Amino acid sequence: MKIGTKSLLFGCHQFLWHPITVALAYRKLFKRWPDLYGSIAIFVHDWGYWGKSDIDGEEGKTHPLLGSVITGKLTYYIERLRGRNHFCASLVALEQAERCALHSRTVAKENNLPPSDLCWADKYSLFCDPEWFYLLRTRLSGEIKEFRLNAVKSGQIPLCSSDRRWLSWFKKYTQSHAAILNLLQRNSVFRNQILLRNRIACSTHMHNAKTLTEHRARLNAAGERD
């Protein structure tokens, strides 16, 4: 069984437990629960690890793609059920698919885009996961070996470090990130900027969809007169 599959079934990214910790982390960082589409993205964002032979390697880096596609499709169907037309539903679906994909800083960097709100919740989810349970899962899946080796190669910890020492270092490393430190502040400008960006993107797509629909209606009306 590939390590990515193990991770989803009983490892670091366990498909039922990990989304709960990400949602809790989102609440902690953004002072609110994720919205409907954010919740969908949180639930499926790591499904792409299925069948992958590594977590942080070349295969693992492509894992956001599957969750992004699923998020986009589910968003489209929900928007259609809500009475949105095809244009509107498609635009919202694209926005949410991108939001899911950008939970990965690698994907964000490769596309010269800022990480989404889900990125920081995903990183901070480590603090909503009991250490003993996290270590148990990563040991069962074998992921802890890859994680420790990556830290050793980058010179962050010595080769003889224990699993718990690695986790202690990784938590300090995660919490020291400027974005995380900012979001943990009570009155965070960065938090407000991210939430505002989400609202603006949604409003822009709604406006564009309405404009396209009206333009199409005018073209149809002109065609009927001709």
Q: What is the mean pLDDT of residues 120-133?
A: 97
Q: What is the pLDDT of residue 147?
A: 95
Q: What is the pLDDT of residue 187?
A: 87
Q: What is the pLDDT of residue 215?
A: 47
Distances (CA, A) of 166 to 115, 126, 155, 170, 211: 25, 13, 12, 6, 53
pLDDT band at 204 (very low <50, low <70, confident <90, very high): low
pLDDT band at 221 (very low <50, low <70, confident <90, very high): low
Q: What is the pLDDT of residue 202?
A: 60
Percentage, residues of the chain above pLDDT 90:
80
Distances (CA, A) of 209 to 14, 59, 205, 206, 214: 37, 36, 6, 5, 9
Q: What is the pLDDT of residue 213?
A: 53
pLDDT band at 193 (very low <50, low <70, confident <90, very high): confident
Q: What is the mean pLDDT of residues 28-34?
A: 95
pTM strictly above 0.85: yes
With a CB cutoff of 8 Å and minimum separation 6, the contacts of 108 are 102, 114, 115, 116, 119
pLDDT digits (tens, 9 = 90+) for 41-58: 999 999 999 999 999 999
Q: What is the pLDDT of residue 220?
A: 53
